[in-house]
Amino acid sequence: MIHRLRQWAGHIGLFGRLLALLVLVMMVDFAANALIFEKASDFALHQEDAARLAERLVVADQVLETEPIISRPRVAGELSSETLKISWSPARERPIAALTLAALQGQILSAQPSLAHRNLQLHLSTFSEDIGGSLTLSDGSLVSFHNHSKRAWPLKAGRLISLVLPSLVLVGLALVMMQAILHPLRRLVLATRRVGTSQSSALEPAGPAEVRNLIHAFNAMQSRIDSLLATGTQTMLAIGHDLRTPLARLHLRLDEAPLDPAAREAMQGDIGEMRDLLSSLQTFVEPRSAEPPRRIDIAAMVQTLVDNAQDQGSDARYKGPDTMVVMGRAVPLRRALSNLVSNALHYGGNAEVSLSVVQNRVTVVIADRGPGIPEEELAHVIQPFVRLDHARSRDTPGMGLGLAIVEKSLSGEGATVALANRKGGGLVATVTLAGGAC
Amino acid sequence: MTLRALMPDIAAPDAVPGSAPSILLVEDDTALRVLTARALKAHGYDVRTACSGAEMWVALEAAPADLLVLDIMLPGTNGIELFRRIRKTSEVPIIFVSARGSEEDRVLGLELGADDYLAKPFGTRELIARIGAVLRRGGGNGSESNGGERDLGRRDVEFDGWRLSMARHELTAPDGTIVDLTGAEFDLLCTFVSQPQRVIGRQRLIELSRTRIGDSSDRSIDVLVSRLRRKLTDTGGTAPLVTVRGVGYMFNLPVTRS
């Protein structure tokens, strides 16, 4: 039953919901007004007070009735006291009371029945408990009075609440309903931020019909994007993978072909380069490793890269502690740092690597004394398949994926890489890990 | 890789007819299968071929092989699964060949217990060298040190809480921290743990590290040993590498293989 109701509610659109809200507001307003009228006609003073008021009205009525017209205003003034102001006017017209105090009228008339034919009218001031009113003399002139009440403040609070409460209820209702309408939209915003990442997932349709339609459309779009990405990855992996068998054939054929040794060596070099291209392509599109982070001696890792380069006769130096433990995944970290050291050696001819903790984050700096990168190109070199268009990089093997692989490997670890030119020439790559040393 | 460092460039198998090592090559690409078989025959091996798991079983039924070269991506049952089934009954040396060539793939193959892993594309030299190395390690002559080295090539090594993974080339400290080693350091440590509690001459160590270090000399071996000592004492304690004055070095901890 509740499920049915929900299904039915789900088909009501934003427009329908707003309309419903409006109808609800009107109904509550109507009810509140009706309640205030009801309350007002029930309004009563203590019996005693009502009797006193009635008595004074009878006195005023009798005195002013017999007084000549000229002296009536003065006498009316003399009849007034601090709590009851009385005035006389010849006007026959009287203001129309907004609220009729039926209960109080009954109290007064039962105390002084003689006032019945004086056409007594009572009204209540809006923001105080003051009672005003008027009665007509036999010649049609008007006696007005105004009663100050001193002990009425609890009643005032009551009336204030009764005035404000409907608004509060309405505001609360509106909040709840807007919340209900907006909640699925907020989920949609969150999900949109995750499109194309590994955390993307289909959304459960919820909310008004328009939002449901939007969620359906979003889910369809997301699955299209996912399948596009997956197709792209599959294509690249297939290229990286399927070209290897023909390359292996080529290599073996080359080995048995009667060739001049120099030509053979050159061709073997070409095959080697193609193999490296395929490897970097595969590395770039490979999905992220799912293995959990482990304790890694990052100092040993960096020193190992530097020592390996030294063992092969390169100019690489390390400055930093002998040991420093961080949490992370060794394969992507090692790949990123290794690519940066290789880049420094290849382009700069040397690598100055240092390890330190800067502002609680482990930082590896890889610097060289090469030509650096033109300032306007610094931002682009990390993009995949981008290669700098100047002589320096023409003879470089690879597809321009080196730094893209660095960036991708590091981002999976919550780490970042920043490139900058050095004073006095050279490039400096700063790798900032997600956390500090353990 | 450690054991590559231990061998000459091209292995020359026994040239006596009839005693040539027999190799079973399992590869689904026809042209590559023919080319590889021809290259192996040219180097004196007795080669049989199979294009699928089914053919492989038939060939193994007919006659045993001294070594299997097994492509991972095969139609039907893949190479990994075939490897598992072979290992249930036989310890025949197996070299994986793969077109994937990723580090994870290599590690997976070696952790399963394959004797080596060869990524496509490969040349004749590399293929022959790897086969020669595996055959020498596993060589049926049964000399104790040979058997030990083959074991070492396939199994992880433990000493005093440290663990040396042969497949990953990874050293893990007793507290679980991964401590990277250079190629030369890894080879040196492998040499030490393969002959624990025995003095190894300085000259032999220099020869072994020649393929890894451009300038291999007395001094560079000392540098290498001191680097290794530093890494093995990262978490406190004393390094298990003892200098034996005038002779060489000794690894003075018992080693277990798992």
pLDDT, position B140: 43
**The one-letter amino acid at A362:** V
Instruction: List the one residue out of B109, B111, B139, B130 whose CA is nearest residue B19.
Output: B139
pLDDT band at A44 (very low <50, low <70, confident <90, very high): low
Tokens of A161: 């609440």
pLDDT, position A145: 83
Answer with the residue of higher pLDDT: A113 or A354. Answer: A354
pLDDT, position A351: 95
**Cross-chain CB nearest to A251 (options B29, B123, B176):** B123
pLDDT tens for A135-189 read 888 887 888 888 776 554 445 566 667 667 777 787 788 788 777 777 888 888 8
3-state secondary structure of A113: helix
Angstrom distance (rounded) from CA A34 to CA A38? 6
Angstrom distance (rounded) from CA B224 to CA B183? 11
pLDDT tens for A371-422 read 888 888 888 888 887 766 554 444 555 667 888 889 989 988 999 999 999 9
Q: How far is A270 from chain B (nearest CA, A)?
A: 12
Mean pLDDT on A89-101: 68
pLDDT, position B151: 47
Angstrom distance (rounded) from CA A297 to CA B179? 5
pLDDT, position A72: 85
Q: At what angle do helices A244-256 and A209-242 cross, to 10 degrees?
A: 10
Contact B79, B72 (CB under 8 A): yes
Angstrom distance (rounded) from CA A437 to CA A328? 11
Give per-10-residue mean pLDDT for chain B (258 aa): 41 54 94 95 94 93 93 90 91 91 82 89 92 78 40 72 87 92 89 88 81 66 88 74 87 84
Angstrom distance (rounded) from CA A85 to CA B120? 110
**A16-20, A346-350, B42-46, B242-246: which has the minimum mean pLDDT?**
A16-20
Whether residue A431 is predicted with pLDDT greater than 90 in this model: the reply is yes
pLDDT, position A42: 63
Quote the Cα angle for A263-A265-A270, to 5°: 95
Answer with the residue of higher pLDDT: A51 or A167. Answer: A51
**Cross-chain CB nearest to A245 (options B99, B184, B231):** B99
Interface residue B103 vs chain A (CB under 8 A): yes
Answer with the residue of higher pLDDT: A116 or A154. Answer: A116
Dihedral sign computed on CA atoms, order A90, A93, A97, A103: positive
Residue A304 to residue B185, Cβ atoms within 8 A: yes
pLDDT band at A117 (very low <50, low <70, confident <90, very high): confident
> Which chain B residues are closer than 8 Å to A301 by Cβ?
180
Angstrom distance (rounded) from CA B253 to CA B247? 19
Angstrom distance (rounded) from CA A310 to CA B224? 12
From chain A residues 249-308, the ones with a CB under 8 A of any chain B CB are 249-256, 268, 271, 274-275, 278-279, 282-283, 286, 289, 294-297, 300-301, 303-305, 307-308
| Burial of residue B144, with CB atoms counted within 10 A of its CB: 0-12 exposed, 13-18 middle, 19 or more buried | exposed
Q: How far apart are the first and last CA of chain B?
A: 20
Answer with the residue of higher pLDDT: B208 or A430. Answer: A430
Mean pLDDT on A296-320: 93
pLDDT tens for A315-328 read 999 999 999 999 99
Tokens of B25: 């090559």
**Cross-chain CB nearest to A255 (options B39, B181, B235):** B39
Q: How far apart are the first and last CA of chain A?
A: 57
Instruction: List the one residue out of B123, B173, B136, B38 whose CA is nearest residue A300.
Output: B173
Q: Which long-range contacts (CB under 8 A, 24 or more apart) does A406-410 make?
A: A406/A335, A406/A336, A406/A339, A406/A340, A406/A382, A407/A382, A408/A284, A409/A332, A409/A333, A409/A335, A409/A336, A410/A332, A410/A333, A410/A336
Q: At what angle do helices B183-194 and A298-311 cross, to 10 degrees?
A: 100
Average pLDDT, chain A: 82
3-state secondary structure of A428: strand
ipTM: 0.78
Mean pLDDT on A421-426: 90
**Phi–psi pair at B53, nearest 5 degrees:** -60, -40
- Picking from A242, A252, A335 by the largest number of B CB atoms within 10 A of its own CB, the best residue to mutate is A252
Tokens of A16: 């329908």
pLDDT, position A62: 84
Angstrom distance (rounded) from CA A131 to CA A247? 105
Answer with the residue of higher pLDDT: B5 or A299. Answer: A299
Choose from A82-86, A110-114, A159-163, B225-229 the range with maximum mean pLDDT.
Answer: B225-229
3-state secondary structure of A327: strand
> Which chain A residues are closer than 8 Å to B35 by Cβ?
249, 252-253, 256
pTM of the model as a whole: 0.66
